Amino acid sequence: MRKRICFATGWLCVVLGVAGIFLPLLPTTPFLLAAAFCFGESSPRFHRWLTGNRYLNSYLENYRSGCGVPRKIKARSLMFLWGTLAVSALLVHEWWYWGLLAAVGVGVSIHLVMLKGSLREPPCFTLVELLVSLGVIAVLAGLVLPSLSRARDGARAIVCASNLRLAGTALEYYADDNAGMIPNVTGPGYSAYSIPIVRMFGGITFALGRVIEQYRIPPEVFGCPLNPDRGPDYVDSQWRGGGVVQTGYIYRETDAGFLPLKAHPRNAGRALVMDFACMSGSGNPLTPHNLESVNVLYNDSRVEKLRNTAAVGDRYTTSTVAGAMTVPACAFIWEHADAE
């Protein structure tokens, strides 16, 4: 298994190294050195092929001879460095993060400028320079990862909002097909109460579950990817399981003064569904969007993203009491979501 992994890694490095010959920002020598090492551990035949190749072996020989770094390579390295730092800075708007990026950029730039120069075309690296280059790549990767994480969370937030828009369209159809009424909640203790449940014990569907059942909407639509406990896969698996199904969205029904007749004038500007929960799930408070924002579906089918403030207990921000996190009351979150 170890030899197979080394062999596959060796060929991957060869491909990347050859691509680096033609692509300005992709290094060649480090990848070919890694390929030579991998082939040495897994395939003597391909190691001989690589070291005997008149084109690729020249990069390895330049490394062994310890010649300087050509000016063109320095320029490409600086372009790659500052281009990567600029992209990272655009993705994360934090002053301390920008300062760290600037410090890394200035330090690495000084190192590259001070490296021994060479007028030869092929890129040449000493062992120290190779290690420094790999270290720079590792540092840059570490800096970019938070940006990629934020971008991933942003994409998930978009999915949450898109799901709400689909739910809004389905609710419009439901009202048209049911004398203008919104899906009601049946059962003792649930009437006029915000609820994320769409199906109860015994296969009884109510609230948004009526929309899923009547229009064959995929259940995963009612899961928010940024809700750690109520994602799309969770909702879909629970629905297929036949038991109680809780979603990543809270449905207002007739809570906090919302009227059953969807088009009633008093419902104008009022929120109807949001990807936040004013109750706990399995004994633990739900924390979609890391409690930084909430997507809200209004009665007119528009979806808006509302942000929390830093104040504890304001809007949708939870508070901590005696070390335990609490969630706001349902009426509280609807009042803050309703358009003024």
Interhelix angle 44-52/56-65, rounded to 10 degrees, is 80
Note the pLDDT of residue 105.
73
Note the pLDDT of residue 68.
52
Q: Which residue has the higher pLDDT, 12 or 249?
A: 249
Find the mean pLDDT for residues 40-53: 79
pLDDT at 302 over 60: yes
pLDDT at 189 over 50: no
Distance CA 312, CA 255 (A): 24
Note the pLDDT of residue 165.
92
pTM (2 d.p.): 0.57
pLDDT at 47 over 60: yes
Find the mean pLDDT for residues 328-338: 82
Among 62-76, 87-101, 118-132, 229-243, name the one with the lowest average pLDDT: 118-132
Query: Per-residue confidence at 198, pLDDT binned at 50, 70, 90?
Result: confident
Note the pLDDT of residue 35.
78
Tens of pLDDT, residues 119-160 = 454 444 444 445 555 555 655 556 566 666 677 777 888 888
CA distance readout (Å), 274 to 250, 281, 334: 6, 16, 9
Find the mean pLDDT for residues 176-183: 91
Among 70-74, 119-123, 324-328, 329-333, name the one with the lowest average pLDDT: 119-123
Note the pLDDT of residue 123.
47
Q: Residues of the chain with pLDDT > 70: what percent? A: 61
Find the mean pLDDT for residues 265-289: 74
Query: Per-residue confidence at 188, pLDDT binned at 50, 70, 90?
Result: very low
pLDDT at 117 over 60: no
Note the pLDDT of residue 8.
80
Tens of pLDDT, residues 13-25 = 777 777 766 554 5
Report which listed range, 17-26, 61-70, 73-82, 272-281, is most confident.
272-281
Note the pLDDT of residue 202.
74
Query: Per-residue confidence at 27, pLDDT binned at 50, 70, 90?
Result: low
CA distance readout (Å), 326 to 319, 321, 322, 334, 335: 6, 7, 10, 17, 18
Query: Per-residue confidence at 106, pLDDT binned at 50, 70, 90?
Result: confident
pLDDT at 288 over 60: yes
Which residue carries 């934020």 as its tokens?
Answer: 150
